[in-house]
Amino acid sequence: MVREQQPENDSPEALPTDFRSPATNHRFIAGIVAYDGTAFCGSQRQKNGRSVQGDLEVALAAILKHEAPVILAGRTDAGVHASGQVFRFTTTNAIPANRVALALNTVLARDVRVKATRAVEERFHPRFSASSRVYKYIIEDVAIVNPMLRQIAGNVRETLDVRAMNTACRVFWGRQDFAAWQSAGSPTKTTVREIKKLSVRRRRDIYGSSPIEVTIEADAFLYQMVRNIVGALIAVGKGELSADDVERLTRGADRTQCPPPAPPQGLCLMQVKYENGNS
């Protein structure tokens, strides 16, 4: 859908500039946005605080000279970050689609940056056209927190067993009912999802620290599903749960019996994937 890099001939003009609706003359433009979620109440527009959607819509109105409601690929909670959130809007403005990113970045606050924009077809929907989403979660398992990581990592004050956490990851692989790992507050027709990838590794020398990185990809996620799964993996890493315990909790489908979610600041939406291989 949207690429961060230019096409092979490195010419902006090689990108499509128009997918117009014959009936309305509307153009459809999508983009990739990155943000530091620390100061946001979430990605979706809310009445009680600043949101990524709200900031994008204000910036679009400034450059397009008309209101342009934004559709996002997914919701992120307060404090959660993104490097690959996808959005779409419609416009009748003649601005070249691939230059919208630069224009937006002259208006947006410094904790939000649009990485790329391009024209898309009307049928493209950031959420419903997506085939999968990729998140990463950073855990710093030390007693004394590195101040450089305090806004991008969850903290656990003891060393975690990465091997045991990876063993427990296998319980979550595949298509199954994840009702146990959904927080209340966002009803859905089905709690069945497919986790395509889930792994844990120790990173080396990030601002002098060696945090743990959890990577997870699924066709879609339930409300707070990633943070809840990471919370379970942390419990495994502490020795409080085994992989068998995690499997039992998953089958029990009772959220009240599961460990608490990991804190929001360690989570980042890395990429939204689409069937054509772009994101």
Q: Give the least confident one: 2-6, 31-35, 222-226.
A: 2-6
Q: How many residues does the chain have?
A: 279
Q: Percent of the chain beyond pLDDT 90?
A: 86
If pLDDT is split at 50, 70 and 90, which confidence band does 4 have? very low
The pair of three-digit structure tokens given for residue 144, joined into one six-digit string: 């004394």
DSSP three-state, residue 260: coil
Burial status of residue 225 (CB atoms within 10 A of its CB: 0-12, 13-18, 19 or more): buried
CA 156 to CA 180: how far, in whole Å? Answer: 23
3-state secondary structure at position 102: helix
pLDDT grade for 131, boundaries at 50, 70 and 90:
very high
Q: What is the C-alpha to C-alpha distance for residues 130 and 273, in angstroms, rounded to an integer?
A: 6
Q: How far is CA 150 from the centre of its chain?
A: 19
If we measure between CA atoms, which residue out of 246, 139, 156, 160 comes closest to residue 195?
246
Summary mean pLDDT of the chain: 92
Amino acid occupying residue 8: E
Structural domains of the chain, ranges and CATH numbers in brackets? 12-128 (3.30.70.580), 131-272 (3.30.70.660)
Q: Which residues are catalytic?
A: 77
- CB 180, CB 252: distance < 8 Å: yes
Strand pairing partners for 202? 212
Give me the long-range contacts of 236-241 (CB less than 8 A, separation at least 24).
236/161, 236/164, 236/165, 236/167, 236/168, 237/141, 237/156, 237/160, 237/161, 237/162, 237/164, 237/165, 237/212, 238/156, 238/158, 238/160, 238/161, 239/161, 239/164, 241/168
DSSP H/E element including 270: strand 267-274
- Judge whether 266 and 137 are in contact, CB under 8 Å: yes
Q: What is the pLDDT of residues 145-198, one digit of tens each?
A: 999 999 999 999 999 999 999 999 999 999 999 999 999 887 889 999 999 999
pLDDT at residue 23 is higher than 70: no
* pLDDT confidence bin for 12, thresholds 50/70/90: very low
- Distance CA(229)–CA(180), nearest Å, equals 9
For 158, 166, 215, 247, 250, the CA distances from 134, given in Å and listed in that order, are: 27, 17, 7, 23, 21
Convert the pLDDT of each residue in 209-245 to its tens digit: 999 999 999 999 999 999 999 999 999 999 999 999 9
- The residue-averaged pLDDT of 40-44 equals 96
The pLDDT of residue 187: 82
Structure tokens at 254: 């009772």
**Given a cut of 70, is residue 18 above it in pLDDT?**
no
Tell me if 17 sits within 8 A of 100, measured CB to CB.
no
